[in-house]
Amino acid sequence: MAVSSELRARALECLVETDPAAKTAGVAALAAASASGAARLDSAAVLQSGAAIPGRPARPELVPPRLVGRRSMATVEGRAMLIHALAHIEFNAVNLALDAMWRFPGMPPRFYTDWLRVAKEESAHFSMLAAHLQTLGHRYGDFPAHDSLWEMAEKTRGDILARMALVPRTLEARGLDAIPPVRAKLAQAGDLAAAAILDVILREEVGHVEIGNRWYGHLCALRGLDPVPTYTELAARYEAPVLKGPFNIEARRQAGFTEAELARFA
């Protein structure tokens, strides 16, 4: 990977990296450089990429969600499929955070350091899940996966308000609802190591969704928009999925959803 002192340029380098180990190592190095002051914030630069975005390994094969396969907790293979699916979500989340950093110039400095923090933590989540997957006899890429998260990132690439509304605080916020029952199933199946990993992920995902909520609110204020009806309009315009319960109301509250927003989940 080429070395650059510019924070967003280096985020783009990490984004287009196809090797998962190199990507996560690059993110960790970038976070360390930012913390030490060695990476300058090129917030106003308009960056160009001639490479495919995002960078991914040749596997897993990407298929429609209905073709991913069932994940029975009764077998090691079924649990491995589930851990693989979770790892793929976290790998996508790394790319989503890096994409937010490089794609949208002109934001306050904290916007970029916030999303770098997300990229670093999502990288750690992916690494933990990938390592656990190996204890089950598999590696990342062994099972097919779907691309729903990145499809919404592609739809919202031209509007930072839509990106903040529909990726972190819609699709990624679903993890706040989904993780507790998945954790319970893994623990019931005896996979306490996986359950412990999900405890870490849930705790940190609350902070990630809070970042999305905070910058969505910031952008709505800048544009003189009411966040609640604006979200409804954006969800319809970009054909966001209709969310179905049960909802983790307390986690969503901790992540910065207002009581007016939470009322629609009650």
Q: Is 24 within the bounds of a domain?
A: no
CB atoms within 10 A of CB 140: 24
Give the pLDDT confidence of 199-247 residue by residue, as tens digits: 999 999 999 999 999 999 999 999 999 999 999 999 999 999 988 889 9
For the domain that residue 136 is a member of, what is the CATH number? 1.20.1260
Residue 32: inside a domain: no
Domain presence at residue 22? no
Residue 252 inside a domain? The answer is: yes
Note whether residue 240 is domain-resident. Answer: yes
pLDDT in tens, 92-116: 999 999 999 999 999 999 999 999 9
Record the pTM.
0.94
Report how many domains make up the chain.
1
pLDDT at 64: 80
- Environment class of residue 26 by beta-carbon count within 10 Å: exposed (0-12), middle (13-18) or buried (19+)? buried
Residue numbers in the chain where pLDDT is lower than 70: 1-4, 67, 69
Cα–Cα distance for residue pair 45/234, rounded to 1 Å: 27
58 within a domain of the structure (yes/no): no
What is the extent of the structural domain holding 179? 63-265
